[in-house]
Amino acid sequence: MARYLTGIQPSGALHIGNYFGALKPAVELQELGEAFYFIADYHALTTINDPEQLRKNVLGVALDFLACGLDPDKACFFRQSAIPIVTELAWILSTVTPMGLLERSHSYKDKIAHGLSASHGLFAYPVLMAADILLYESDIVPVGQDQKQHLEITRDIVVKFNEVYGPILKLPEPRIRDEVATVVGLDGQKMSKSYGNTLEIFAPEKVLRKKVMSIVTDSVPIEAPKDPSNSIILQLYRLVAGPAEVEAMTESFRAGGTGYGEYKKQLFEGLWSMFEPMRKRRAELESNLEFVETVLKRGAERALTTAEQTISRVRRAVGIGR
């Protein structure tokens, strides 16, 4: 049975980019194989320096994952930091990771360009990601197109490590979901908390409506035909509406006579309706946080069994310990 692994950063409230890029695929994959899902709180330290905020975000991600359909009886769900030996593996991997491999990382350059501090943690992010993947002997890693390079780096690290120490680490395979690889944000860039252009899954109704109405559009008059090919509204609407509804909006764009405000209202209604059952489930979980903590604890205990086997092999291979 194939083992799948997915991690998500607790860097803020989950948005629809997270849902379609990670949560929805994760829920689907738990039916296909052995699923390992973790909350990447070590990774979040590259952007969050407030400990209380980080703890709040971790709980929020746990609630959101479970509300969106993750089944703890089928999937292993845990905090990354509950298995601290992942940082030991990251250090060992870093000793065989070529600098040039990390210097070519598109994600690092992009985040620096958007104002994040050029820390060692941000630079070495792909090495810790590799440790996350390899510690649990993952077979398949579902990633968006924007994370594909990180998995390629992981594979390069495995090849380098195994060349030096022998066939110790498993070579993981990517599973790219091109159709939802990049969910567009309010401004047309990739939807990201770092860019402040997100639509949160569980935002209050007024907040979500206001954000939808702020989506960037061009200045084409109401009566004029509009180009549907690059519309942020239509790109988001395709995620929450059926083919017939999408086609109707597309044809309406081409016909003219309707303003962008009306299309934004339709998008809001689609978003609000789609996530209604998940909002109800999340409210139930918030009233039973003991259950959520139990799920994470049991997940960590299960993950630790595999992690200890992997780190023991690695330690023996590199000569650490007896």
In a domain, residue 242? The reply is yes
Q: Once rounded to an integer, what is the mean pLDDT over residues 117-125?
A: 84
Lowest mean pLDDT among 31-35, 41-45, 117-121, 162-166: 117-121
Residue 131 and residue 93 share a domain = yes
How deeply is 145 buried, as exposed, middle or buried, from its count of CB atoms within 10 A (0-12, 13-18, 19+)?
A: middle
Residue 139 and residue 14 share a domain = yes
Residue 299 and residue 245 share a domain = no
Residue 239 and residue 150 share a domain = no
Residue 137 and residue 17 share a domain = yes
The model's pTM is: 0.85
CATH number of the domain bearing residue 65: 3.40.50.620
Mean pLDDT of the chain: 92
Q: Once rounded to an integer, what is the mean pLDDT over residues 174-200?
A: 82
| pLDDT tens, residue by residue, 223-237 | 999 999 989 999 999
Instruction: Give dist(CA 125, CA 47) in Å, integer.
Output: 12
Q: What percent of the chain has pLDDT over 90?
A: 73
In a domain, residue 284? The reply is no
Residue 256 and residue 298 share a domain = no
Tokens of 84: 């601290």
In a domain, residue 81? The reply is yes
Residue 296 and residue 269 share a domain = no
| pLDDT tens, residue by residue, 13-43 | 889 988 987 788 888 888 888 999 999 999 9
* Tally of domains in the chain: 2
Place of tokens 């941000």: 122
Residue 304 and residue 267 share a domain = no
In a domain, residue 296? The reply is yes
In a domain, residue 282? The reply is no
User: What residues act catalytically?
Assistant: 111, 190, 193
In a domain, residue 192? The reply is no
Full domain range(s) for residue 26 = 3-183+289-318
In a domain, residue 47? The reply is yes
Residue 151 and residue 46 share a domain = yes
Residue 91 — φ and ψ, nearest 5°? Answer: -65, -45
How deeply is 53 buried, as exposed, middle or buried, from its count of CB atoms within 10 A (0-12, 13-18, 19+)?
A: middle
Q: How sure is the predictor about 275, in pLDDT bands with cuts at 50, 70 and 90? A: very high
Give the residue among 272, 36, 26, 275 at the shortest CA–CA distance from 137. 36
In a domain, residue 279? The reply is no
Place of tokens 């090849």: 159
Residue 137 and residue 31 share a domain = yes
pLDDT of res. 150: 77
Residue 262 and residue 298 share a domain = no
Residue 154 and residue 11 share a domain = yes
| pLDDT tens, residue by residue, 310-321 | 999 999 999 997
pLDDT of res. 146: 66
CATH number of the domain bearing residue 224: 1.10.240.10
Question: Parallel, antiparallel, or unpaired for β 75-79 and 34-39?
Answer: parallel
